[in-house]
Amino acid sequence: MAVVVYLESQKGVVKKTGLEVTSYGRALAENLGVPLIGVGFNLSETKALDSYGINILYNINTSEDLYFNVERYGTTLAGIVTKEKGSIVVVSSSADGRYLGPYVAAKLQAAYLSNVVALPSQYSPLKVERSCFTNKAFNETVSQKDCTILSLASNAYGLKEKHGAVKVRSEVYAEGSNSLKVTAVDLATDKVSIADADIVVSGGRGLKGPENWHLIEDLATVLGAATACSKPVSDMGWRPHSEHVGQTGKPVASNLYIAIGVSGAIQHLAGINASKVKVVINNDPEAPFFKAADYGIVGDAFEVVPKLIEKLKARKY
Amino acid sequence: MNILVCISPVPDTTSKINFKDGNTAFETQGIQFIINPNDEFGLTRAIHLQQKIGAQVTVVTVGDASCESILRKCLAIGADRAIRVDLQPQDGFQVATQLAALCKKSSYDIIITGRESIDYNGGMVGGVLAVQLEMPYVPNCVHLELNGNEVILQREIDGGKESLSAQLPILIGAQKGLVEEKDLIIPNMRGIMQARQKPLEVVMPIEVAPATEVEKYEKPPEKEAVKLVDAEDIDGLIDLLTNEAKVL
């Protein structure tokens, strides 16, 4: 038996999401008394993993695949899980993690559970808590299979270090077909993505127009945050829909979520419910967001936000 | 060109979520069901292809007879025919396996699922179906164009977009961006009348056990009241976020 974690990486370096699933997988492996196996693809830097207690690291060189490739990664990962007799596989809730999880589950005829928010309450059979109804509820779900793929909700477990030497196995694999060809990857390199951000600053209709978005962007810059927006704002074309947060948009599970001029429609609140601390700035004290927030300021965003930016700039160093 | 769009009826996005039978089942009383928004973006793209190249659009759902009003709505939007697999499914694995059995009996060039349903958020039907049908699969799909047998696609990834190409047949997980909100089709009276005459076939399910079982539901704990800070006291807010919430 073993616990297997997928080490998501970018440009050869394991991402925070990869370290979080490793932290979670470590706890599972300890509770079960089995080894923790990490599987990464084309990793150039594995030193950081020494702090997370992986017993065996498979660093797979897929040579020609520069980008994530679900067929090859999924087939290879499934092969390692079979070889190592993995009973639990953990992937993240990133776009690639959610792509890979069901694929590997189907390959292994295993169960798949997304949005897992806590350690299992029981191991045989495996029982975990997951969020559903876009964070409006949770459910306790029991796997009916011997092998289960868990997709861990972002920021649900956090990073927990555990030192120990890693045994690295570098292998070259080229398993799986390759029916999808990636022709280009367009990453906004100068911005923090909503999925990777510790802090998200979000703007709503209260900002009156796209020409005022410098308030959101300046605040995000000083905080090292990602920018987001409400559904009406993306529907009106003020901001790209990739920034739309909510039930039909992106979920946000950041440590801090700052909503400016967002009234707080139920669909928006569902989408951000997994964020740890929520702050609202709105001139309408009746805005529903005040019921969902931890901290709030009733006031004009055009006065409050510039002051907040000034104070934060002054505070920094 | 045959397109299959997989539809999941879900509670309206404004619904308050409650549970019954000792928190073991979703309380559907008083809930208005809608086409899962991600599926509706996919259906709309399928109708665009129907109008442009004369594709035949079939919609399918796995569910009991109460799902038929949602299928009729899809027909009113413009789908040519509907299929209902007569099973109240317990998880996404069951849904995907039923759909795979159905797909193996026909030949679809494009199969569309939603990125995820907004009720159970399983997010697995497309991926599992792809493996069972041995078809290429692109989730979080925000662009789909055809160039003969070639499909040009875009997938939303964390912090950007990935462009892909593949040969038909293809399976995608649709989401907002594949079409825009303003492109969604509101059925008109003619569409609603025609929908009544369009075929809605009920097929028997195959035997397949679910891979997971929900034991119990719960709602998030009640939130404590918001701490209000005076609009003049920005230092107070920064202090709370730094020392109390410890997020700065």
Q: Is B101 an interface residue toward A (CB < 8 Å)?
A: no
Residues A113 and A68 in one domain: yes
Stronger pLDDT, B223 or A81, i.e. the higher one: A81
ipTM score over 0.85, yes or no: yes
For tokens 């920094």, the residue is: A316
Final residue of a structural domain among A136, A156, A172: A172
**Chain A contact probe: residue of B10, B41, B157 with most A CBs at under 10 A:** B157
* A180 belongs to a structural domain: no
pLDDT value at residue A196: 87
Does the pLDDT at position A9 exceed 60?
A: yes
Residues A279 and A152 in one domain: no
For tokens 């996005």, the residue is: B13
Residue B94: enclosing H or E segment and its boundaries? helix B92-105
Residues A24 and A157 in one domain: yes
Final residue of a structural domain among A172, A188, A213: A172
Residues A133 and A11 in one domain: yes
Residues A75 and A28 in one domain: yes
Does the pLDDT at position A317 exceed 60?
A: no
pLDDT value at residue A190: 73
pLDDT tens per residue, range B201-217:
999 999 999 999 999 99
Stretch A17-22: mean pLDDT: 96
Q: Can you give the residue range of the structural domain that contains A217? A: 199-315
Residue B18 makes CB contacts below 8 A (sequence gap 6+) with B26, B27, B219
* A191 belongs to a structural domain: no
Residue B170: enclosing H or E segment and its boundaries? strand B170-174
Q: Which of B79, B97, B81, B105 is nearest to B187 (CA)?
A: B79
Q: How confident is the model at residue A198 (pLDDT cuts 50, 70, 90)?
A: very high
Written out in words, the top-level CATH class of the domain with range B2-215 is: alpha beta
Q: Are A130 and A152 in contact (CB under 8 A)?
A: no
Q: What is the average pLDDT value for chain B, to the nearest integer?
A: 97
pLDDT tens per residue, range A79-108:
999 999 999 999 999 999 999 999 999 999
Instruction: Indicate the pTM of the whole model.
Output: 0.95
Q: How confident is the model at residue A174 (pLDDT cuts 50, 70, 90)?
A: low
Residue spans of alpha helices (H) in B145-232: 189-197
Strand ranges (E), chain A = 2-7, 9-10, 13-14, 36-41, 56-61, 86-92, 111-116, 122-123, 126-132, 137-143, 148-152, 167-172, 181-187, 199-203, 226-229, 256-260, 277-282, 295-298
Q: Is B37 an interface residue toward A (CB < 8 Å)?
A: yes
d(CA A126, CA A148): 8
- Scanning A51-80 for CB atoms below 8 A from B yields 67-68, 70-71
Q: Is B167 an interface residue toward A (CB < 8 Å)?
A: yes
Stronger pLDDT, A177 or B235, i.e. the higher one: B235
CATH number of the domain to which A148 belongs? 3.40.50.620
Count of structural domains within chain A:
2
Residues of A in contact with B37 (CB under 8 A): 247-248
**Nearest neighbour of A296 by CB, restricted to B37, B163, B226:** B226
Torsion from C-alpha of A246, A251, A254, A257, nearest 10 degrees: 0
Residues A215 and A141 in one domain: no
Which of A90-99, A162-171, A265-274, B135-144 has the least mean pLDDT?
Answer: A162-171
Q: What is the average pLDDT value for chain A, to the nearest integer?
A: 93
Does the pLDDT at position A177 exceed 80?
A: no
Residues A158 and A210 in one domain: no
Does the pLDDT at position A143 exceed 70?
A: yes
Question: SS3 for A49?
Answer: helix
Question: SS3 for B139?
Answer: strand
* A188 belongs to a structural domain: no
Residue of B nearest to A307 (CA): B234
Residues of A in contact with B245 (CB under 8 A): 256, 276-277, 294-295
Residues A255 and A120 in one domain: no
* A183 belongs to a structural domain: no
d(CA A96, CA A21): 13
Residues of A in contact with B145 (CB under 8 A): none
pLDDT value at residue B185: 97
d(CA B63, CA B120): 14
Residues A67 and A160 in one domain: yes
Stretch A223-235: mean pLDDT: 96
* A184 belongs to a structural domain: no
pLDDT value at residue A65: 67
| Domain limits, chain B | 2-215
pLDDT tens per residue, range B22-62:
999 999 999 999 999 999 999 999 999 999 999 999 999 99
Residues A6 and A77 in one domain: yes
Size of interface A-B (CB pairs under 8 A): 246
